[in-house]
A and B are shown apart, each in its own frame.
Chain A
Amino acid sequence: MNAVEAATLTFLAFAIAGTLPAVAIAGQSGATPPLAILVGAVETAMAGVCALVIASTILPWFLLISVLGALLSLPSLIRRHRRQPVAERSAHRSSQIPSIATMTALVLTLAVCLVPLRVPSVGWDARAIWLLRSSWFLQGHEYLLFAMRDATQSGLIAHASYPPLVSTAAALSWQLTGNHSDRLGVVVVTLLNASATLATAWVIVEIGRIAGRKQEPQRRARFAELIGAVCAVLFVLVAFDVFGPFATNGYADPLWSMAAAGAIGYGLILPCSRRNVGAAAILLAVSGLTKTEGTATAIILVILISTRYALDVVWPRLHEPPDLVPRHRLMVAGRALWPVTACCTAAIVCLSLWPALVKVLHTARDVNTSGSRQGTWGSRWHETVTAIAPYLHLLLLAVPVAVVSGLVLSRLRSDLGLGNDLWAWLGLLGGMVVVAAAYVSGPGNTAFWLLTSVHRTTMFPVTAAWLIIAVWTVLALVSLGAPKAQVSAPEEVS
């Protein structure tokens, strides 16, 4: 089986395994196919954990977890199907054409961005870390445990304890298809990058549609949707410019960066809803299971998303109903808060499982998180800022755009139910601070570390900044296309 056939079969397996859980978690939308694939990839990571901790190889665990995932999703799907009125279902079906057209445009754009896949490039880290570990996962429990624990085996690559998703996805593709080649591994990682990009781009499409729903006549609504689709296409192209050669040579950085940016989109930009927070949860799982900095960023995003949802739940209860005494209002608000708190705690625990597991199993220590430090706090801080700054010149555009847009378009933004832009900026800053803190407080020589990684660790803030810019672009164009009365909500004028 050649790499193309093998990758197709692998992604079919991911999609089949992930569809029911993805629909149960994030509902049905244009983002369902990429989210289903990403859920499939998360299931391979869970299978990898089981193979490491318990026994056997990755494939049997993947099959078991897929079946369990589908079974656990069924009650939620049946409940939702029963609740949805028949008329709404048929209306939903009839409104699929714009979604399909938009998805086709996005997939074609992605196809253009994936043309470099015809070059069989395998990146340095891809061969030395990600695909090497895939071979470990491929060989099952005993070998995997030896390789992860033994300092000689894992001493050179130095990142044995990195989260498993990229390696397990490639390992599953090898085991499933019998094609044990670096080429297939790279294609699988690249297609995962593409899936995360597609899911994130759908945030922009969704904003166009939300704006369209508030527009009359139909022509204006279609115009708003078209703006969303066009900006999403541009975002996909721009994302692959940010990733550069790392998009198609097997590196894990584009995947965690894009997944975290997508989580900002669904969790901090789109309106608060179960569907959106579900999509954010899937993307946070991908980010957290892909790379250590992705795990740290995902934890920060979980806290931010939970805070936004908590405020969304608590705020109305503190003000309504007006006849309740303040103490009762607080009690009502507190009762409404516990599901958000529980979900936040569960998400943080899940994201911390892999780092805890590698400690418990005494795997070889990671050079990025252990060992002695060189330089002072001040010198490391200076080196870090000097190295990071050239990669963040986009902020010179994004910050003024956000400030001016906040002044001019914030009203439209809140009318559409979108989150305040500050949430997205907090997410972006959180990820940046995590990375900068790792460089400053981490071990070893910062200068060398920065030289070999800063262009990749800054992918997340740059991608998130482009997402913020794209969202404001949609809002600005919608605002220009809409009649004045619709842009400004008249209800607050007395």
Chain B
Amino acid sequence: MPSSGEALHQSSRQWTSGNQVCDRPHADLLFRYFQADMDQPQAPSDDGCSRVSHRRRIVRILTTIALAVTTLVGLTYSSIRSVQGVTSRSSSRHQVQWQQDVSYWSCLAIEARGLVVPGERVEIDKQGLASKVILEKTVGGWTRLVSSAQNPSAILALENDHSERSCLGSVVVEYPPGSRLRGPPEKIGSGGSDPGTNSLPATPL
């Protein structure tokens, strides 16, 4: 009793050498072609099947050529797109825009460092999401952000200011703890200067 593997080999040999098997309907032939014999070596044949094996070889080569061309075109097209993207992202316009971004954040950091020291317990203004996020990014890496119930030593907020000392129209200010941001700020950040209007580049999320 031959194993299933042997049976498969036997049947595939029979197909390539026996005339009656060569005359099978096209669909069946195609199925068997891919199923067992497409990538098999060709047995030498001197009967009518040589035509079939020749055709099979040509189909195989043409399929491989089509594959190689398709994948190479895909890879090359995406590579060209990549180079175009690289060129666009490194343009001088982008460089100027992102340099403004660097100046803005640097300005805010200088102002904040003039108000609080590293490690200090600070509460940040949570009235506006934008100012909250900006302040978190500015001081969240070196101060201890706490809530009002955790005894902060200062409250930091962002206020509109279009003077020379502002950071694109904002300035960091400090309120005394427990003041609930009422009245004038206790201190106003200084040292940074990035005047102008907010023209920062869009940051992809």
**What is A's interface to B at a CB cutoff of 8 Å?**
112-113, 115-116, 118-125, 127-128, 131-132, 134-136, 138-139, 143, 146-147, 150, 152-153, 156-157, 182-183, 231, 234-235, 237-238, 240-241, 244-246, 248-249, 397, 401, 404-405, 407-412, 452-453, 466, 469-470, 472-473, 476-477, 479-480, 484-485, 488-490, 492-494
**What is B's interface to A at a CB cutoff of 8 Å?**
9, 13, 34, 38-43, 57, 60-61, 63-68, 70-72, 74-76, 78-79, 81-83, 85-87, 89-90, 94-95, 98-99, 101-102, 105, 118-119, 132-133, 136-137, 140-142, 144-147, 150, 201, 203-205
CA A115 to CA B132, docked complex, whole Å:
34
Partner of B142, one of A115, A139, A452, A479: A139
Distance in Å: Cβ of A91 to nearest Cβ of chain B: 32
CA A238 to CA B73, docked complex, whole Å:
12
Does A452 contact B205, Cβ atoms closer than 8 Å? yes
CA A241 to CA B89, docked complex, whole Å:
12
CA A249 to CA B85, docked complex, whole Å:
14
**Contact partners of B119 in chain A: CB under 8 A:** 139, 143
Known: A115-B90, A119-B98, A493-B43. 6 other contacts (CB 8 A): A120-B101, A121-B101, A152-B145, A235-B75, A401-B70, A480-B64
Known contacts A231-B75, A245-B204; A153/B140 CB under 8 A: yes
**Contact partners of A249 in chain B: CB under 8 A:** 204
Does B38 contact A490, Cβ atoms closer than 8 Å? no
CA A173 to CA B39, docked complex, whole Å:
53
Known contacts A120-B102, A409-B39, A494-B9; A473/B75 CB under 8 A: yes
| Best-surrounded residue of B34, B65, B141 (most CB of chain A within 10 A) | B141
CA A199 to CA B111, docked complex, whole Å:
43
CA A119 to CA B118, docked complex, whole Å:
29
The 10 closest A-B pairs by CB, nearest first: A135-B141, A241-B82, A411-B39, A237-B79, A488-B41, A476-B68, A473-B71, A116-B89, A234-B75, A238-B78
Partner of B95, one of A118, A246, A452: A118
| Best-surrounded residue of B86, B98, B105 (most CB of chain A within 10 A) | B86
**Contact partners of A112 in chain B: CB under 8 A:** 83, 86
Known contacts A125-B205, A473-B68; A240/B82 CB under 8 A: yes
* 30 A-B contacts (beta carbon < 8 Å): A112-B86, A115-B86, A115-B90, A119-B94, A120-B99, A120-B101, A122-B98, A122-B105, A124-B203, A124-B205, A128-B136, A139-B142, A146-B144, A156-B136, A231-B75, A234-B79, A235-B75, A241-B85, A249-B204, A407-B63, A408-B64, A411-B39, A469-B75, A472-B67, A473-B67, A473-B68, A479-B64, A480-B65, A485-B41, A488-B42
**Contact partners of B67 in chain A: CB under 8 A:** 401, 404-405, 408-409, 472-473, 476
**Contact partners of B76 in chain A: CB under 8 A:** 234
Distance in Å: Cβ of B79 to nearest Cβ of chain A: 4
CA A240 to CA B79, docked complex, whole Å:
9
Does A240 contact B75, Cβ atoms closer than 8 Å? no
CA A147 to CA B61, docked complex, whole Å:
62
Partner of A397, one of B70, B85, B102: B70
Q: Closest A-chain residue to B70, C-beta based?
A: A401
Does B144 contact A136, Cβ atoms closer than 8 Å? no
Q: Closest A-chain residue to B95, C-beta based?
A: A119
Does B204 contact A123, Cβ atoms closer than 8 Å? yes
Does B39 contact A241, Cβ atoms closer than 8 Å? no
Distance in Å: Cβ of A277 to nearest Cβ of chain B: 27
CA A125 to CA B136, docked complex, whole Å:
13
Does A409 contact B89, Cβ atoms closer than 8 Å? no
Partner of A135, one of B60, B132, B142, B205: B142
Does A127 contact B137, Cβ atoms closer than 8 Å? yes
CA A147 to CA B139, docked complex, whole Å:
12
**Contact partners of B34 in chain A: CB under 8 A:** 407
CA A123 to CA B146, docked complex, whole Å:
26
Q: Closest A-chain residue to B140, C-beta based?
A: A132
CA A112 to CA B95, docked complex, whole Å:
17
Distance in Å: Cβ of A482 to nearest Cβ of chain B: 11
Known contacts A405-B67, A470-B75; A150/B86 CB under 8 A: no
Distance in Å: Cβ of B120 to nearest Cβ of chain A: 12
Does B150 contact A241, Cβ atoms closer than 8 Å? no
Partner of B74, one of A131, A452, A469: A469
CA A139 to CA B118, docked complex, whole Å:
10
Known contacts A123-B204, A479-B64; A241/B81 CB under 8 A: yes
**Contact partners of B41 in chain A: CB under 8 A:** 484-485, 488-490, 492-493
Distance in Å: Cβ of B12 to nearest Cβ of chain A: 10
Distance in Å: Cβ of B103 to nearest Cβ of chain A: 10
**Contact partners of A485 in chain B: CB under 8 A:** 41
Q: Closest A-chain residue to B57, C-beta based?
A: A484
Known contacts A411-B40, A480-B65; A238/B105 CB under 8 A: no
Does B137 contact A132, Cβ atoms closer than 8 Å? yes
| Best-surrounded residue of B39, B41, B102 (most CB of chain A within 10 A) | B39
Does B145 contact A469, Cβ atoms closer than 8 Å? no
Q: Closest A-chain residue to B62, C-beta based?
A: A408
CA A138 to CA B102, docked complex, whole Å:
21
Q: Closest B-chain residue to A246, C-beta based?
A: B204
Does B146 contact A150, Cβ atoms closer than 8 Å? yes
Known contacts A241-B78, A397-B70; A128/B137 CB under 8 A: yes
CA A450 to CA B201, docked complex, whole Å:
23
**Contact partners of B81 in chain A: CB under 8 A:** 241
**Contact partners of A132 in chain B: CB under 8 A:** 136-137, 140-141
